[in-house]
Structure 1
């Protein structure tokens, strides 16, 4: 009887986690970003200590997680059974990342998927890295964002030390922007025009630890374009499936 009850409870828990996994993971990233940032804004900065620079990298990774969560919301996979909640989470996570505006990002991202690596793709540019990044930034960075960031920067100085704000609030957001561009746009789409590549997208070699650290598995980019309904935390499974299929040929 006890064994049966345990199995039933385990099944219920598994079903709950499966149904609400996207929301749970999104909230985990949100809480981690907020709590770590709060801690670091109060932290005594020591420019000699390597922990200071490790903290910057941790915040960069969490900022990237915010944007990846907003990206998944654009595909409706954060809260697939609740469109309104999915939009709220996407809007919140995008906004916390340097005041990105979700309703502006949403149509541009789907335009990217419909017209990948063409003149109609807002994420694509045929030039070198710097020209491409400049074109990318023009598409997504607005004067309103800059003004809001400047206002928040001055407001935060009322409560927190200047070096903490710069190191742990500003710098990680800038670094995460480069990280997302490099691993999520530039590397996957540069020079990929082979007719047999229907998604005009490359993919990282299979290394799940590096794929997670570099961009939340978003370097598995062909897999994302092939199955955009998969959340970021399922892309490694699709990578395994595709690589396994190649090995059996």
Structure 2
């Protein structure tokens, strides 16, 4: 398969654009008069902010694979660390260890993202998934941030609930469903590859909207250094190879 070509500084530009869009949108939404917005508008803005929150995690994920700034490890790590800290006060170092365990032992008892063999349905699996990454320290930190924004900066509680808390929780569900559950649930007939993963066959547009191409998950496991925005290219190359092999 043809390797994804060198994209220069494209990864830095894309990742900082996602971060900038998230920061600007959040700062605006926390200050608007939410009472003047109809429910439909609020829901649409929550969906937008959820997507941008997911983008923060995707930034950190790509940084873990050295895909944001391959020639500048310090910058790569900095972008990843800031993104995941703003996402939910996560430690980039700790998350990096867990993520590499996932890649080394996908869909197994040694995979921190996998179910425990009993909680296979998506709801129970999600709750176990969240518990695995639970941290009282981080929870206390988030509570302190909430009250600092409310008390010191006079951000209305309604704005915080709608545009900070809700998108963060919804983003965790989005990442779990499209990045863990769908790709790594055991298919009928058992797993078919060493990555114990499968990909969606959605169009590039819907793959992007669903979760920044996380649905092309087998391709990600096979080519972990490919940035998220290059996965459609890898997916198409893989489909072409499979088709040619079937002839």
Q: Is the 8 A contact 2:191 2:197 kept in 1?
A: no
Q: Is 2:142 the partner of 1:149?
A: yes
Deviation at 1:201, TM superposition (A): 0.2
Of 200, 203, 206, 1:207 maps to 203
Deviation at 1:84, TM superposition (A): 1.1
* Residue matched to 2:100: 110
Q: Distance in 2 between matches of 1:196 and 1:155?
A: 50
Q: Is 2:133 the partner of 1:133?
A: no
Q: Distance in 2 between matches of 1:109 and 1:81?
A: 21
* Residue matched to 2:157: 162
Deviation at 1:138, TM superposition (A): 1.8
C-alpha root-mean-square deviation of aligned residues, in Å? 1.7
Distance 1:195 1:58, change over 3 A: closer
Distance 1:241 1:163, change over 3 A: same
Q: Is the 8 A contact 1:206 1:239 kept in 2?
A: no
Unaligned runs of 5+ residues in structure 1 are 1-14
* Residue matched to 2:7: 18
Deviation at 1:196, TM superposition (A): 3.6
* Residue matched to 1:173: 168
After superposition, residues 3-14 of structure 1 pair within 5 angstroms as none
With normalisation by structure 1, the TM-score equals 0.90
Q: Is 2:49 the partner of 1:54?
A: no
Q: Distance in 1 between matches of 2:104 and 2:197?
A: 13
Greater Rg by CA: 1
After superposition, residues 6-85 of structure 1 pair within 5 angstroms as 18-45=7-34, 46=36, 48-85=38-75
Of 67, 72, 83, 1:93 maps to 83
* Residue matched to 1:8: none
* Residue matched to 1:5: none
* Residue matched to 2:241: 245
* Residue matched to 2:217: 221
Paired residue secondary structure (2:7): helix
Q: Distance in 1 between matches of 2:75 and 2:167?
A: 27
Q: Is the 8 A contact 2:61 2:80 kept in 1?
A: yes
- State the structure with bigger RCO (CA 8 A, min sep 6), 1 or 2: 2
Unaligned runs of 5+ residues in structure 2 are none
Paired residue secondary structure (1:73): helix
Of 97, 102, 123, 2:113 maps to 123
Query: Structure 1 stretches (4+) deviating beyond 4 angstroms?
Result: none
With normalisation by structure 2, the TM-score equals 0.90
Q: Deviations over 1:21-47 (max 9, x none)?
A: 111111000100000001111111145
Q: Distance in 2 between matches of 1:247 and 1:76?
A: 31
Deviation at 1:49, TM superposition (A): 4.1
Q: Is 2:180 the partner of 1:191?
A: no
